[in-house]
Amino acid sequence: MENLRIYGDAPFTIAVIHGGPGAPGTMAPLARELSKKYGVIEPMQTAASIEGQLEELKAAIECKSNYPVVLIGHSWGAWLSYIFASMYPSLVKKLVLVGCGSFEEKYLTSMNNKRENRLTEEENKRVGELFKLLNDPQRKKDAFCEFGKLMTKADSFAPISLDDEGLDFQPEVFQNCMREVNQLRKSGELLDYGKKVECPIIAIHGEYDSHSFEGVEEPLSKLIKDFKFHLLKDCGHSPWNEVYAKEQFYNILYNELK
């Protein structure tokens, strides 16, 4: 798997950061669209630690972009971009968080309840089985893939496509990075990274997204001085892949990129 893809022509002023963690390639549709007007890089995170992924991202931006860049992070990638902007403020001129996870642990119950209510009884049973299979070295990759598809179903309102264009599934990356970030969130350190972010932050969130928008809007609006929040109706976790929200999403994004 290649560790970076380039779209459009120089200068490369935008970096799109995929989710997962451990689901590289899923930002390709967004990168292709933005490359009609901008040069875009799509780094792939392969390290099984937050520190390792930050180092990968730093190397990609320093070597391949015309920094400082606009960082557009989706889901896990939004968290990673948030931490990155705190640690390397000179490399980031604007931060866009799309479908970001909640910054405080108290919102987890809401997310889990939404997902459970949107899946059938049989699907919820399967989710429990898949969690166990993630500990099986021989079956964890297939289990991670199937788990991701079930979560995509629960997190989507009216998806345009069921293919997220992921290049690979990396269960070890998912397990290790989520373990780390959950500890950071529990301790409050995750949110506190924002105290060192110097650039504007824009959050774009689907109202139907299982990741509670309140868990992004409420804490960041109190912490970040230059913060904007956009809530999209009839929209799930990936706005560019939503029938009713795609146009509005791109209108907001292009306006923020001007």
Domains and CATH numbers, the chain: 4-110+147-257 (3.40.50.1820)
CA distances for 98 relative to 11, 19, 71, 114, 203, angstroms: 23, 10, 11, 19, 6
Which pair of tokens denotes residue 35?
Answer: 């490359």
User: What stretches in the chain show pLDDT beneath 70?
Assistant: 1-2, 167
CA distance 42 to 118: 31
100 within 8 A of 80, measured Cβ to Cβ: no
- In one letter, which amino acid is 173? V
Neighbours of 179 (CB within 10 A): 10
SS3 label, residue 14: strand
Q: What is the pLDDT of residue 98?
A: 98
d(Cα 158, Cα 240) in Å, to the nearest integer? 11
CA distance 121 to 124: 5
Greatest C-alpha distance within the chain: 50
Q: Looking at residue 167, what is its pLDDT?
A: 67
* Distance, CA of 224 to chain centre: 19
Q: What's the pLDDT at 68?
A: 97
The neighbour count for residue 257, using CB atoms within 10 Å, is: 16
- Which residues lie closer than 8 Å to 203 by C-beta, 6 or more apart? 96, 97, 98, 100, 216, 217, 220, 227, 228, 229, 230
Strand positions, DSSP E, the chain: 4-7, 12-17, 39-43, 69-74, 92-98, 201-206, 227-232
Q: Give Cα separations from 126 to 24, 84, 123 (angstroms).
A: 24, 35, 5
